Structure 1
Amino acid sequence: MTLLFKNILKFSILYFSLYVLDSFFKNYLELLPYRYISKTLLSFSLLIFYLLNTTQEDSGKRKLIVIALCCFAVGDLFFIAGDGGNMWHFMFATFLFIIAKVCYSVRFSNNKDFKISKLIPFLLFCFCYMSIIMAIVYNQLGVFFIPLLVYLFVVMLLMQFAYLRKNEVNSESFWFVIFGVIASMIADSLDVLKMFYDPEIAYNKITIMFFYCLSQYLIIVGVLKETKTSTNLENALI
């Protein structure tokens, strides 16, 4: 069983097979309760993969990733429960996702100085992104205006710290993480638009979960590629 998680090809097949299973359950109302099992297996398979392969010596950084993955896992279960219309479940799940994204942000932060000019293109992108999303859904937000604003801010915060890793880590790790964060943004955007704009937008029953699972996978692989030191682990992750 350990070998299944130590080899990235075998784990990838397992992980995306679990995604397909979970997506299948999601699209059939009578099978929805089985998502509590499939989603738990999907989430914790990624956690096990990380724990078995990380060589990160900084225990604080390891804990941040573990906390983030656990928050995502529990938040997913509350999102499933929230599909029944329970808004408190949805709000608590959103709170857990915010904690998870903040943990990722702190994990990706570094003490290096950087030029503010380096952030100008990024800040411009953030402004445009948040303005477009808020403009589309503004009339439907009501009491969710502030919570959504906070959530989008955290999404942009994560993107910022992922972006600032450029030239501070190896390029392979940087690009895995940055593409993972972009996939996460796509999933978040579709989820917001589904809730407050169009419930049927962009085949969201499939696309949201796809980009969300892809983002988690890419981020964790990117983190592992940054922290690997053993030649054996490097070979296992190629």
Structure 2
Amino acid sequence: MYKIVKSRLRFSAIFFSILIIDVIVKNISEVSLFRMVTKSSLLLLLVVLVLYHRSEQKKENIFFLISALICFWLGDIFMLFYKNIILYFVAIFFFVLGKLFYVFRLSTKRDFSMNRLLPYVLFGVAFMFVVYNFIFNGLCETSFFMVFLYFFAALKVFLFAILRKNAVVPLSYNLVLLGVFFSFFSDTITALSSFSEIVIPFSDSAIMVFYGLSQFFIVIGILEDKNTCVFKKSCKSWL
């Protein structure tokens, strides 16, 4: 397994190959043993990558990142049984936890200007308002609270990703922010498909593709924050 994470080309090829296979399996059968394997493999690969680079990371940072990935993995498994309303909300709970662990990992000790952050806060709140305007009629009291909590956690991840600017190397900042935007796409399509009458072509495939891309770029970006050269040819740990 560690041989895979030593090569950026090999790791990326295997990760995206599994992602494509998972999308294909999802269109064939929502719940299957093979689907559990493909979804779990994506997060497992990222966990192994994090562990391979653990020597460059603080212990608490490793804990937050691994915890986030484990929570997303549990959420993925429970979401396979989304037709059971209890398991559906359990899945959302773990997704929220996963995003909060990302917030803890992305936080920095640098001071920030509220004036600089305010436009992003307004953008995030406006984005949530627009989405809620489309899905409001499809929400019950419980789902309203859980979805609100989920989007609030997503907004926190976005803001803390923004706050990393000038605190980490540019490559790390850009990769994480790219991953966060992919997560926005996945979350928005999921909300609209689940709670509104809007029909989005290939929504099931798009949700998984954007979700996989978001996890990939967020994790890779986080590992780059100390210039550990995960994506640099000259780095001995990523040849």
Q: Is the 8 A contact 1:72 1:100 kept in 2?
A: yes
1:30–1:165 CA distance, 2 compared to 1 (3 A): closer
Equivalents in 1 of 2:158, 2:164: separation in Å?
Answer: 10
Q: Is the 8 A contact 2:2 2:48 kept in 1?
A: no
1:199–1:23 CA distance, 2 compared to 1 (3 A): farther
TM-superposed deviation, 1:31? 7.2
Q: Which residue of 2 aligns with 1:139?
A: 137
Equivalents in 2 of 1:24, 1:198: separation in Å?
Answer: 25
Q: Indicate the SS of the match to 1:207.
A: helix
Tell me the TM-score normalized by structure 2.
0.92
Q: Indicate the SS of the match to 1:153.
A: helix
Candidates 112, 117, 127, aligned match of 1:129: 127
1:151-176 per-position Cα deviation (integer Å, ceiling 9, x unaligned): 11111000000000011110000000
Unaligned runs of 5+ in 1: none
Q: Which residue of 2 aligns with 1:120?
A: 118
1:59-89 per-position Cα deviation (integer Å, ceiling 9, x unaligned): 001100000001111110100122xx10111
Code of the residue aligned with 2:88 in structure 1: it is F
Q: Is the 8 A contact 1:162 1:174 kept in 2?
A: yes
- After TM superposition, the structure 1 = structure 2 runs for residues 79-228 of structure 1, keeping only pairs within 5 Å, are 79-82=79-82, 85-143=83-141, 144-198=143-197, 200-228=199-227
Unaligned runs of 5+ in 2: none
TM-superposed deviation, 1:236? 5.0
Equivalents in 1 of 2:5, 2:238: separation in Å?
Answer: 10
Q: Which residue of 2 aligns with 1:18?
A: 18
Equivalents in 1 of 2:100, 2:147: separation in Å?
Answer: 15
Equivalents in 2 of 1:5, 1:115: separation in Å?
Answer: 38
Which structure 1 residue ranges, 4+ long, deviate > 2 Å from structure 2? 29-33, 53-57, 227-238
Equivalents in 2 of 1:31, 1:70: separation in Å?
Answer: 20
1:135-191 per-position Cα deviation (integer Å, ceiling 9, x unaligned): 111111122111111111111000000000011110000000000011011101110
Code of the residue aligned with 1:196 in structure 2: it is F
Q: Which residue of 1 aligns with 2:41?
A: 41
Give the structure with the higher percent helix: 1
Equivalents in 2 of 1:223, 1:139: separation in Å?
Answer: 38
1:199–1:39 CA distance, 2 compared to 1 (3 A): farther
Equivalents in 1 of 2:120, 2:94: separation in Å?
Answer: 26
Q: Which residue of 1 aligns with 2:58?
A: 58
Q: Is the 8 A contact 2:137 2:196 kept in 1?
A: no
Equivalents in 1 of 2:228, 2:155: separation in Å?
Answer: 30
Q: Indicate the SS of the match to 2:208.
A: helix
TM-superposed deviation, 1:124? 1.4
Q: Indicate the SS of the match to 2:140.
A: helix
Q: Is the 8 A contact 2:180 2:214 kept in 1?
A: yes
